[in-house]
Amino acid sequence: LEYFAIHLANEHSSENLDFYESVDHFHHEWDLDHVNALTNVANKIFQLYVATNAPLAVNLPSKIRLKTEERLKQNDIKRDVF
């Protein structure tokens, strides 16, 4: 993983690994008893990596970005939101 992270940094795309790790953490922390806290985490992930003009935007098809955005707006936060 260390060499892959170095490669991504050299390619100026380390945000992809950061996004993956954030989503992986979100999936591992998923618990229906803590949906409110995880809703905040999901929104932060979206704003940081997925939203249009996100500071660490990852390259996703617009269809996926729009679907994710709609689910967050509708408060449809489930483990598979990402």
Q: CB–CB of 57/15 below 8 Å? A: yes
Long-range contacts of 5-8 (CB under 8 A, 24+ apart): none
What is the model's pTM? 0.84
Asked if pLDDT for residue 77 goes beyond 80, the answer is yes
When comparing pLDDT for 13 and 58, which is higher?
Answer: 58
Q: Give the pLDDT score at 32.
A: 66
Q: Tens digit of pLDDT for each residue in 15-59?
A: 989 999 999 999 888 876 777 888 999 999 999 999 999 999 999
What contacts 79, CB < 8 A, 6 or more positions away?
27, 30
